[in-house]
Amino acid sequence: MAKIVSLCKRRGFVFPSSEIYGGLKSCYDYGPLGVELKRNITGEWWRTMVHEREDIVGIDASIIMHPAVWKASGHVDGFCDPLVECLECHARFRADKAPRLPPGSEVAYRDGKTREKKRGKVEARGYVCPECNSPSLSPERMFNLMFRTNLGPIESEESTVYLRPETAQAMFVNFQNVFTSYRLKPPFGIAQVGKSFRNEITVKHFIFRSCEFEQMEMEYFVEPGTDEEWFAYWRSERLKWYLSLGLSSEKVRFREHAPQERAHYAKASGDVEYLFPWGWDELEGIANRTDFDLKRHQESSGKKLEYVDPNREDPRTGAKPFRFLPYVVEPAAGATRSVLAFLCDSYDEEPPSEARAEGRTVLRLHARLAPVKVAVFPLVRKDEWLTGKAREIVKEFWRSGTNSFYDEKDAIGRRYARQDEVGTPFCITVDGQTREDDTVTIRYRDDMRQDRIKVADAVEIVRKKILE
């Protein structure tokens, strides 16, 4: 992780937020390469979930929603974590994430003031402070994760609004608007990519868990009774998506939740997990939310949220029309968390070999995700013809919508190394031979192979390789 965090800072993927003021815990800024990687991930999600399907449409809803939404969804009363304070080192942490030990077992830790070694016994609740190991802890206090603010100039209970802790609720409250305006019929889905906010108590592992993050969520509305099939379908589709973008198959899995792990609204749920450097952890949650949310919003708003099929008989009464509240299957992925998974998975260090005197660091990102697709170099900086030609080629790539980079600084080997380190899959070099036959070399990042290609074919060759 330390290497990835350092690469992110050095090469402009991710910076600590407001760094000149010492940074802000759990907040991050995406730099020139990070924003490209994140946009490529959300773009791929949108392509496969929305553009390549007839049954799913997108929305982009307001981050601040009516406070009644969060009352009805259960977030105002129930979106809480158990907060505990260590009485020795005063660290605050989540009780459910603390290291668990058998009650009564002996532990060693340091006194918060004198730093002397102490021994103590684990209390009946069975956990200790994750920072200093002390069993001396405050009582658990439930802490709501939603950020509150006020709409308008007066700070009062009536003006309280929340920054959304998930994008999902916008799909439920817009359910009627979308299916009537777009004439959709279950099964159909509503997708959204956007920011969510949670006042997380424990923030660690870089961008894995932050207070401001981006989600890629889709609510799939189905006829009750077909929900279990759709749950199985989405579980398999979502796993395939990560694999299609190059995540290592032995590092991705689906883990079904035990009943006690499920959210209050879920009939079945589980996580797509990735083997991060600290172990298996959640990348995406997939849940069968039943009709919980539509039912709660229907009751709370007084507006009918049923789907009415005039051509079908109600199977219970035999009469037309058939009215039902759809069940919802939800694949809820983290975009910022995916950035970290793809970075961890693609990071590679190659030691020096017979073929190469120097080792290299390479990000083996899928070409679709790579922030820069192609780098174009003149072999020699001082030759005006070579630099002019290389600039012409890079402009051709820009015109075709391919994010490309021109570089003439340092020796060619250093330029290749700089591109390998940020995952650029193709490098094109203009050299003396270009002047004679209008060909250039294309060098492939992963095996460093070089081919000679015609300048006129370069854009098309790269375009095809990206789509592979």
What the block records as the tokens of 332 is: 């809820």
| Shortest reach from residue 273's CB to ligand GAP, in Å | 9
Name the 3-class secondary structure at 271: strand
Minimum CB–partner distance for residue 57 and ligand GAP (Å):
18
Asked if 441 contacts 431 with a C-beta cutoff of 8 angstroms, the reply is yes
Minimum CB distance to ligand GAP smaller for 58 or for 120: 58
CB of 428 to ligand GAP, least distance (A): 36
Which of these segments, 121-129, 173-181, 212-220, 246-254, binds ligand GAP (CB under 6 A)?
A: 212-220
217 counts as binding ligand GAP under rule CB under 6 A: yes
| Distance in angstroms (rounded) separating the CA atoms of residues 217 and 240 | 16
> DSSP state, 216?
E
172 binds ligand GAP (CB under 6 A): no
Nearest distance in Å: CB 95, ligand GAP: 17
Q: Is 337 in the site for ligand GAP (CB under 6 A)?
A: yes
Please state the closest distance from residue 295 (CB atom) to ligand GAP, in A.
17
CB closer to ligand GAP, 109 vs 241: 241
Question: Binding of ligand GAP at residue 336 (CB under 6 A)?
Answer: yes
Q: Which one of residues 187, 334, 371, 425 is an interface residue with ligand GAP (CB under 6 A)? A: 334
- Closest residue to ligand GAP using C-beta atoms: 334
Find where tokens 């982009």 sit: 60
Helix (H, G, I), strand (E, B) or coil at 42: helix
Q: Least distance in Å: CB of 207 to ligand GAP? A: 7
200 binds ligand GAP (CB under 6 A): yes
Task: Give the residue carrying structure tokens 């002019």.
Answer: 388
Q: At closest approach, how far in Å is the CB of 263 from ligand GAP? A: 8
Q: How far is the CB of 48 from ligand GAP (least distance, A)?
A: 17
Chain residues 128-167 in contact with ligand GAP, contact rule CB under 6 A:
166
Q: How many CA atoms lie within 13 A of 295 on its CB side?
A: 11
Q: According to DSSP H, which parts of 260-383 are helical?
A: 292-301, 335-346
Site for ligand GAP in 434-463 (CB under 6 A): none
Tokens 């600590």 belong to 16
248 forms beta bridges with none
Among 134, 144, 210, 387, indicate the residue that binds ligand GAP (CB under 6 A): 210
CB of 266 to ligand GAP, least distance (A): 9
Q: Applying CB under 6 A, which part among 181-189, 213-221, 312-320, 406-414 lies near ligand GAP?
A: 213-221
Q: Is 168 in the site for ligand GAP (CB under 6 A)?
A: yes
Collapsing DSSP states into helix, strand and coil, what is residue 112? coil
Toward ligand GAP, which CB reaches closer, 332 or 375?
Answer: 332
Q: Any contact of residue 293 with ligand GAP (CB under 6 A)?
A: no
Nearer to ligand GAP, 144 or 404 (CB): 144
Q: Taking the CB of residue 416, how many other CB atoms lie within 10 A of it?
A: 20
Residue (134 or 336) nearer to ligand GAP, CB: 336
**Which range of residues in 14-22, 118-126, 329-337, 365-373 is near ligand GAP by CB under 6 A?**
329-337
Specify whether the backbone of 183 is left (phi greater than 0), alpha (psi in -120 to 50) or beta. Answer: left
* CA neighbor of 433 nearest in space, from 377, 386, 382: 386
Residues in 223-252 at the binding interface with ligand GAP, rule: CB under 6 A:
none
From the list 305, 324, 329, 298, the residue with the least C-alpha distance to 56 is 329
Q: Tokens for 409, please give them.
A: 């600084």
Q: Which is nearer to ligand GAP, 280 or 406 (CB)?
A: 280
Spell out a b/e string for 39-75, using b for 16 or more CB atoms within 10 Å of the CB, else e. Answer: bbbbebbbebbbeeeeebbbeebeeebebebbebbeb
What amino acid occupies position 88? Answer: E
DSSP, res 66: -
Q: How many residues bind ligand GAP (CB under 6 A)?
A: 19
CA angle 101/104/108 to nearest 5° reads 70
Instruction: For residues 352 and 328, give the distance between their C-alpha atoms in angstroms, rounded to a whole number.
Output: 52
Element (H or E) spanning 244, and its range? helix 227-244
Contacts within 8 Å (CB) and 24+ apart, 463-466: 463/400, 463/402, 465/367, 465/425, 465/426, 466/367, 466/368, 466/373, 466/402, 466/425
Between 175 and 397, name the residue whose CB sits nearer to ligand GAP.
Answer: 175
Q: Which stretch binds ligand GAP (CB under 6 A): 208-216, 234-242, 391-399, 405-413?
A: 208-216
* Start-end of H helices in 368-442: 384-399, 412-421, 432-437
Contact 169, 147 (CB under 8 A): no
- Quote the CA–CA distance of 215 and 117 in Å, as a whole number: 44
The footprint of ligand GAP on residues 17-36 (CB under 6 A) is none
Binding mask 250-289 for ligand GAP (x = CB under 6 A): --------------------------------xxxx----
Question: At its nearest, how many Å lie between ligand GAP and the CB of residue 167?
Answer: 7
| Sites of contact with ligand GAP (CB under 6 A) | 166, 168, 198, 200, 209-210, 213, 215, 217, 282-285, 330, 332-334, 336-337
